[in-house]
Every structure is written in C-alpha cells, then in structure tokens.
Amino acid sequence: MDMTWFEEMEARIPQGEVRTRFAPSPTGYMHVGNLRTALYTWLIARHAGGKFLLRIEDTDQGRLVEGAVDVIYKTLAECHLDHDEGPDVGGPVGPYVQTERRPFYGKYAELLVERGHAYRCFCEKTESEEDTGEFDRAANPCRFLSREESDRRAAAGEPFVIRQRIPEEGTTTFHDEIFGDITVENKTLDDQVLMKRDGLPTYNFANVIDDHLMGITHVVRGSEYLSSAPKYNLLYEGFGWPIPKYVHCSPVMRDQQNKMSKRHGDPSYEDLIAQGYLTDAVLNYVALLGWSPRGEQEIFSLDELKAVFELSGVSKSPAIFDIEKLRYFNASYIRAMSPEAFAALAEPWIRKSVKNPAVDPAAVAALLQQRTEVLTEIPEKVAFFDALPDYDVELFTHKKSKSDAESSRDVLTAVIPLFEALEMWDDEHILDTMVKLAEERGEKNAKVMWPVRIAAAGQAVTPGGAVEICRILGKDETLRRLRLGLEKLS
C-alpha cells in the first residue's frame, strides 16, 4: 500500500499545543449534558492556552434535524464558547463536517485491514446489528478468511462491512483522567463495525480517525462511552498513533435514578433561556454539575472559570440538576447587574404586559431588579401598570398596617385633594405628602400608604411601594385610580 497520502495527512496535524473539540450531532436541541461537554472542552483548551475546535458529526443521517446546525452555532455564540477552527471558520485540518470527510475513512479502514487489525465481513446482518457489532466472534467465519479470499470476494462486488479485529486473548488497559486506569478482558469486546455497507463509517471509527487527524489531545465525552474506550485504544495502537487523554464525565441526572431527558420534559439550554434564565447563570451552574472548585466561591464569570478550571475537580459521581439551585444563581446574576444593563434586559419582558408608552420601562425595571429570580416572572408582576386589575375591597383590610375598609376610605378621601394640589410629582413630594398626612392623623405611615398602594395597583403584592408606583403611573393616572378605589369603598 502506497503510504504517501497517509504521510501527507500526518504532516497536516498541528503539534505542541492542547487541542480539544466539541463534536455534536445535529439532532435538534442542546441538552444540558451537551452544553456541559462543550463548556468543559472549551475550558480545558482555554486554561492551557490551546485551541478549541467545532466538528459536526452528521454520519447518522437518519437522525439529522433540519436547522440543528444553526442551533449549535447560535448556542455556542450565546454562551461565548468561541471556536478557533470549525466548518464556519476553517482551519488547517478541515473539513470539519464528517460527511465531507467521507473519502478519508475508507482509506484508513483499508490500512487497518492491511495491518491485520480489521477484516472484511460479508455476512448478512441487519443495520442495527452492523451498528452495534453484537455477535459471537468465534461464530463469524469472515474473521478467519484468508486475505486472498477476502480480496477476491470484494473485487467481485460482494457487499461487506469492515470490522475491527479484537485480540482473542489478553487484556486492554486504558487511562481516564477522571476514573484512572481501567482494564478489560479482550474476550468481552466485540468486533465492532468500522465501515458500513453504504461506505459511511460508524460513529466509533470516524471519531478516532478525526480526533487523530485534527491533533486532538483531550477527548471529553460522557461516561457512557467508557465501555467503548478499550476498542478506541486498540484502534490507536493498530495505527501506531498516540492516544489522547480521555475525560469521561458522569451523567447529569434529573434525580438519583433517572438521567435528564427531553422526552420526560427536562429543559434544554434553549428551554432554560425561554424560561427566563440568563446565559451566564446557566453556564456558571452547568460548570458546577460535576466539577468542584477549590474554596467556597460559587459564582464565577467565564474568565474566572477559565483561570481556575482543573480536571482534578471533576467528580466520578453523577450530578443532579436542581432547578431551585439554578434559580438562586440566576437571581444572584440579576442582582449583580448594573441598573442600565438590567433595564435593557427587562424591557422586552415588561413590554409583554405594559403596552402603555407613558410608562417608563427603566423606572419599572428599577423596582424589579432586587425582586426578580427569573425573567418570566416580570410580565405578571407589572401588568397592573398597564391596566388596573379588578380587585376586591377586602384587599384594603390589612392587619399589620391596621387598615380596614373604613380607615382606607378616610385616607383616600384625605389624600386625593393633597395629591391634586402637588405641583412636583416625584418620590420626595409624594412621600412627604403621605408622611405629613399620617402625622396629622396620628397614625403610622403604613396606614396611609397601604390603601394608596392597593388603590393604585389593585393587588396586595407589588414590586415597589406606594411612592414608586404612584410616581411611575404619573399624577393623572394615580388620581384616576385612587378615585376608583374610593368609589369601591363608598
């Protein structure tokens, strides 16, 4: 076999740097486990000053979803996980889409056959059997065909798959950065299919070829692939290639027994954003699903994660996704934002329910920032600014402020002309008016402010108190609502 082409492929491989890859299949949404894999892969590369690659693994044509590649690009961009090489940016070891690399795999499979680490199998198998390779090795006559017989049947046009030739005896040991050394007996491994009849590689074979040709130094994937790692090792050894560092991450679970699953209603990254979570909060929380930093710090920016992320902190134990913990992170991120940044973020959510252009969304946002955990809470909280809800007079009765229907009627009767006389409509003058009224009546401030807030907002729980609500509503609208409240009480 002429090795010139193989030598040219070897010469393209970058050396002397950490190189990692995120290699999703374009099958729809980005689930939380996928996002964590992308994040850890990015962090390993960035922590070491290396390169982060994006590779699209689309060889399983039956599972492809239209538009899924765009979801991958969009998610990585939103999460600030920039890639140095990929289908959209190019690079020295392209193409970066597996189906565009199709000519490579057959050549490497034939090279493996040449070296005795693979063989052609002419047996009739179903496609599912081809994909899994589950069969009794000793009962497969093709494993024992002579090379001449195999070549003759292939030349005659007989269809075949190419299977890996696993050693019959002995053991295979591989090292994982999380789980340490793992040894398996070769007799427990099947002769997996490397190339299918249609000329496309299986996932396991394409992965090894692409990782080597792209110079990948750290392979990050789910722990469900631990059982395949011995066969990967044997492929690397069959080619005489260096073996990358394996990083197998334990699964993200819904609870102690069940993995997260879209089928069971568990949220994807896109779902979480639609549910009002911030990208930075999601990333921060996802980083801690199976990785523990040193010290007590929990809130990390992406730059901080890049500086402190080490594989020694990754756990062997499955991580349980806790939505309440994510809410805590989200609230922390919201409260840490600048008022201007939060106002810009909150405005579209405020405008979902507050259509009145006279209401300043930035003023409303200022009331919300310390009271919001997820953005989806906002529309319902502030809808009263747009339209006074229909409310029951029972709301005017409040034990703590010692208010009831009668005292509330007296307060509104007194406060309406005072507000009408105000020339300056701002927090200071609104507050001063109500405080003076309370003093004159010999009451605590709350006994005046409670009925004003109920009449202005029409609900018991509001972001902000009577002063802020009246100021945002404006003088005319506040007076209109207070008069309606007085009518209810009369």
Q: Which residues are identified as catalytic? A: 262
User: In which element (H, E) is residue 172 found?
Assistant: strand 171-176
- Residue 39 backbone phi and psi in degrees, to 5: -65, -50
Neighbours of 8 (CB within 10 A): 9
Tell me how far the alpha carbon of residue 454 is from its chain's centroid.
Answer: 41
CA 1/CA 110 separation, integer angstroms: 9
Contact 57, 88 (CB under 8 A): no
Position 39, amino acid = L
The 10 Å Cβ neighbour count of residue 230 is 21
Helix (H) or strand (E) holding 384: none
Say if CB 36 and CB 290 are below 8 A apart. Answer: yes
- DSSP alpha helix (H) spans, 133-180: 147-155
DSSP string, 214-267: TT--EEEEEGGGGGGHHHHHHHHHHHTPPPPEEEEEPPEESSSS-B--GGGT--
Q: Which residues contact 482 (CB under 8 A, 6 or more apart)?
A: 412, 415, 416, 419, 452, 455, 456
Rounded distance, CA 458 to CA 461, Å? 9
Q: How far apart are CA 16 and CA 14, in angstroms?
A: 7
Question: Helix 339-350 crosses helix 361-368 at what angle (to 10 degrees)?
Answer: 110
Residue 173 burial (CB < 10 Å; 0-12/13-18/19+)?
exposed
- Backbone φ and ψ for 253, nearest 5 degrees, come out as -110, 150
